[in-house]
Structure 1
Amino acid sequence: MKLLLLLSAILLLISCGKERHIHLTAKNAVTGAPYPGLNYYVVEEKEGNNGTDYTTVATGTLDGNGEKIVPVKIRKNRSYVIRLDPPPNWCYMNEVSYSYTIHGEKSPTFDFTFAECATLQRKVKNTNCFDSNDKIEIYIDNSVHSLLSTPWILNGCADYTTVPTKVPVGNYTLHWIVTKNNVSTDYYDSFNLTENEMKVYEIDY
C-alpha cells in the first residue's frame, strides 16, 4: 500500500511538471520603446496518436513597460510555444519573435521586437545614357536589416519605377555604382522613414 502511494505521488509530481518563469518583453526595434498591453499566449503541444494536441496554459497582457513574467508548469514530453499579438501597423518582427518553442529550459527570456510601416517608392532613370552597356548597381539597407543583401542591377538606358511598397520605419542607407563607358563611380545617400510616411526616392544618373 505504501509503495502504491509512493508511486502515485511520483506520477503526480511528474504530471504536474516543474514551474518555470518565462520572461517576455516587447520593444520597438528602431527606437527601443516598449509596447505595453500586447496579448501573449503560452501554448502546450503534445504529440499523440492522432497528431498534435494544443492547449493554452497561460494568457494575459504585457504590463506598462512591455514586459511580463509568466509562471508556467513545464511538463515532460511537451513543447511550449510562446505567441505575442503584434502591434497595429507592423511591417517587421525579429526573426525569432512571434513564436518560440521551449523544452523545459530554466526561466527563459523571449524578446520580441517590431517596427511599424512606412511606404517607399523608388524611381531610377538613366538620364544621360551612353550605350546599352551602361549599368547601375544599387545596394540598400535599413535599421532592422530586413532587405536583401544582393544589389538591384539595371542595365542599359534604364527607366524604372517600383510600385509603392510597405517597409519598416527607420534609417535607410544607399550605395550605388554607376558604370558608363567602362568607368565606374560610387554614390552614397541616406534617409529616414517615420510611421505612415510616404516617400518617393529618385536616382537620376
Structure 2
Amino acid sequence: MKALFYLSILFVFVLFSCTKLGRNITVKGKVINPLTGTTYSNLKVQLVKSESLSLPGGYKEIKHTYTDEEGNFEINAARIGKIWVQIQSGNELYVLGWHQDGEYISDNFRATVQKRETMETDFHVVPYGKYQLVINNINCQGINDTIIINQTNQVGSFLGIDWVLTGCSGYATALEKTPIANIHTEYTVIRSGVTNSYEVDFIVHPDQNNQQIINY
C-alpha cells in the first residue's frame, strides 16, 4: 500500500515537472554577413522570456552562450511559455534580422522561438562605412534646372523617397554612418524643358569614408 502511495506521489511530481518545465528546445545557427559570408565570433546569444519587471525592455534571461570562432551557436533550455532568442551585436554592426528557410522571420535583434524541438536560424548583420552624396550642377542653364533623386539600399536602410533640388547650387549630404551595401540611385534631370533619366550603383565599403559624386 505504501509502495502504491509513493508511486502515486512520484507520478504526480513527474507530471507536474513536465507540465511546469515543458520540453527542451534547441536554437542553433550562425551569425553572418550575407553579402560577404563573413562570420562573427564571441557575440552573446540569449534565450529570454517576457517579464515586465526585468530590464532592459521587460525581458529576463533564461540562458546564454557565445558564438564560436566560425560564428556558430547552439543553445538549449526547457520551454517555459513563450520565449525569444536574441543577439545584441553592438553599434558596429547593422542588424538585418533572423533568417530562416530563405526569408526573414524577424527584422531586428530578437525572434520568437518556434514550437519545435530544434529551431535552425541564422542572424544576419553587416558592418558600417561612412557615406556622403555630393551633387554638382556642372551644366547649369538657370534657376529652373531640376534634379529628382531616389535612392535605395540593398539592405533596406534607405527609403525610396524622391527628393528634389532646383537651381545651379550644388549640395552635399553629411558624412554619415551607413551599412555596407550597394546603393542604387535613380535620378531625373529636367533642364530647359528636356527630361533625362539616369541610374547608377555605388558600393559602400566598411571602415572608410565613401563619397559618391553625381555631376549633371
| Shift in alpha-carbon separation, 1:105–1:47, aligned structure 2, 3 A | farther
Asked whether the 8 Å contact 2:136–2:171 carries over to 1, the reply is yes
The offset of 1:186, in angstroms, is: 1.8
Match for residue 133 of structure 2?
122
Asked whether the 8 Å contact 1:27–1:112 carries over to 2, the reply is yes
Per the normalisation by structure 1, the TM-score is 0.83
The offset of 1:63, in angstroms, is: 1.7
Percent of pairs with identical residues = 21
- Residue 136 of structure 1 is aligned with which of 126, 131, 147? 147
Please list every run of 5 or more consecutive structure 2 residues that lacks an aligned counterpart in the other structure: 98-105
Per the normalisation by structure 2, the TM-score is 0.79
Q: Find the aligned partners of 1:103 and 1:173 in 2 and give their Cα distance.
A: 36
Q: Which amino acid aligns with 1:149?
A: G
Q: Find the aligned partners of 2:135 and 2:203 in 1 and give their Cα distance.
A: 19
Match for residue 59 of structure 1?
64
1:152 paired to 2:157: no
Match for residue 48 of structure 2?
43
Deviations 1:64-121 (A, max 9, x none): 221122122112xx2212121316622x211424111236344222321111111111
How many residues get paired? Answer: 199
Please list every run of 5 or more consecutive structure 1 residues that lacks an aligned counterpart in the other structure: none
The offset of 1:23, in angstroms, is: 1.4
The offset of 1:158, in angstroms, is: 4.1
Match for residue 19 of structure 1?
24
Q: Find the aligned partners of 2:206 and 2:212 in 1 and give their Cα distance.
A: 16
Specify which structure has the higher proportion of strand: 1
Asked whether the 8 Å contact 1:30–1:169 carries over to 2, the reply is no
| Shift in alpha-carbon separation, 1:84–1:142, aligned structure 2, 3 A | same
Q: Find the aligned partners of 1:144 and 1:64 in 2 and give their Cα distance.
A: 25
- Residue 94 of structure 1 is aligned with which of 92, 96, 99? 96
Q: Which amino acid aligns with 2:87?
A: L
Deviations 1:29-59 (A, max 9, x none): 32022112211111122579xxx97432211
| Shift in alpha-carbon separation, 1:59–1:163, aligned structure 2, 3 A | same
SS in 2 for 1:108: strand
Match for residue 79 of structure 1?
82
| Shift in alpha-carbon separation, 1:131–1:112, aligned structure 2, 3 A | same
Asked whether the 8 Å contact 1:35–1:87 carries over to 2, the reply is no
